[in-house]
Amino acid sequence: MHYNVEPLRTSQEIDDFLWAVSQARYGERNRMIVLVGINTGLRMSDILKLTVGQVRGKERVMIIEQKTGKKRWLFLKNLKAELLHFTQYRAPSEPLFCSGRGGALTVNGVYRIFQTASDFLERDDIGTHTLRKTFGYHYYQQTHDIASLMMIFNHSSEQVTKRYIGIERDNMEQQLWDFRLGV
């Protein structure tokens, strides 16, 4: 199976996706998952491990990434108001993102939500890594600091990071846009 997961490259694509995930039964929860993902660059497994008490009223929190076992600061200042509203009236020990059955939402559950939204948008390039790639893509576009992004993602090289966020593809397409021979 080949996964063609891409970042959301424009503000319009982000807005469209936020709208699409909001149309489902748990729209507010789904929208908050997307906002946390595109503003932190966390893997979905780490997003779903967060609890209400870890994030409510916080501007930053230290987490340990599930995949790497490494510590990482999670900066939530820009989401503080939204998270405060989303978590009001909830116990600190609750998972930040609950399933319809009450426990923590799973990565597969989020994947299904995203597939429904991507079908609605007639896209076949959205998956759970889309949020992480979107964060990386826009972080790089705003800062051009690939070394810091590489550290945030815990990647082994700048080349891996550029490929992961789709910058190499964008650069190649731009260079080939007007290239033609014999036509």
Per-residue pLDDT of the chain (183 residues; tens, 9 = 90+): 446 899 999 999 999 999 999 999 999 999 999 999 999 999 999 999 999 999 999 999 999 999 989 899 999 999 999 999 999 999 999 999 999 888 899 999 999 999 999 999 999 999 999 999 999 999 999 999 999 999 999 898 999 999 899 887 877 787 788 887 888
Instruction: Spot the catalytic one: 123, 129, 133, 162.
Output: 129
Instruction: Spot the catalytic one: 43, 72, 123, 162.
Output: 43
pLDDT of residue 181: 83
Instruction: Spot the catalytic one: 31, 123, 133, 155.
Output: 155
Domain ranges of the chain: 11-145
- Count of beta carbons in the 10 Å neighbourhood of residue 4: 9
Instruction: Spot the catalytic one: 2, 25, 67, 70.
Output: 67
Which residue, among 139, 72, 165, 66, has the nearest Cα to 107 in the 3D structure?
A: 66
Instruction: Compute the residue count for the chain.
Output: 183
- Any catalytic annotation for residue 29? no
- Any catalytic annotation for residue 2? no
- Any catalytic annotation for residue 56? no
pLDDT of residue 1: 43
- What pTM does this model have? 0.91
9 vs 166: CA distance, rounded Å: 9
Angle at 106 between CA 105 and CA 109, to 5 degrees: 90
pLDDT of residue 3: 61
Pick the CATH number of 11-145 from 2.120.10.10, 1.10.630.10, 1.10.760.10, 1.10.443.10: 1.10.443.10
pLDDT of residue 167: 84
- Any catalytic annotation for residue 67? yes
Helix (H) or strand (E) holding 123: none
- Any catalytic annotation for residue 164? yes
